[in-house]
Amino acid sequence: MSAVEVFILLGILVLGFTVLCVMSWRSRRFEAPLRRVARARPVRTFGMSVDARVSRQGMELPVKGRLDLVVWGDIVEVSHPFVLARFIFGQEYFFLASETTVKIIPGRRNWILIEGHWRGRTTRVWVARRDMTREIWHALIHAGASPGGPSEPVTWAAPTD
């Protein structure tokens, strides 16, 4: 590789890293009020490590590793356990439960779609953990999330774990 090729490659990598950081910063700034309120609360209502998928540019993408699902009263947090990954990759999502709907997505594995509508933006995160669907569901509903979606209400039946 010539010096020019190395310089171009490094430039592309720096540009990609910068784009990731800017996108993450915009998301963090948008969710900052919910983050501050949640982290100021002394007690977590519910906490569990979950598998997750996120929606980016209209596509459902799996997340590498597990994320933490934490309920702080009426605020739901789904975030990476490592602060650096939260910041760089934007793997931190906050939902105000009263502005959130949850829905069971049946299949080979039961996923719970958490869809938050806050300040004119919709955020979608799918969470699952083997044999724990019912506990996650009840924690989200107890926090104040509405079962179903805005266009099609769903009655939840106990999923087969």
| CATH number of residue 17's parent domain | 2.30.29.30
161 in a domain, yes or no?
no
89: containing domain: 3-147
CA 8 to chain centre: 34
Are residues 101 and 147 in contact, defined by beta-carbon separation less than 8 angstroms? yes
**pLDDT, mean of residues 113-131:** 84
Band the pLDDT of 39: cuts 50, 70, 90. Answer: confident
Report percent pLDDT > 70 for the chain. 79
Are residues 98 and 115 in contact, defined by beta-carbon separation less than 8 angstroms? no
153 in a domain, yes or no?
no
160 in a domain, yes or no?
no
Flag whether pLDDT at 153 surpasses 70. no
Count of structural domains, the chain: 1
100 in a domain, yes or no?
yes
- Whole-model pTM: value is 0.70
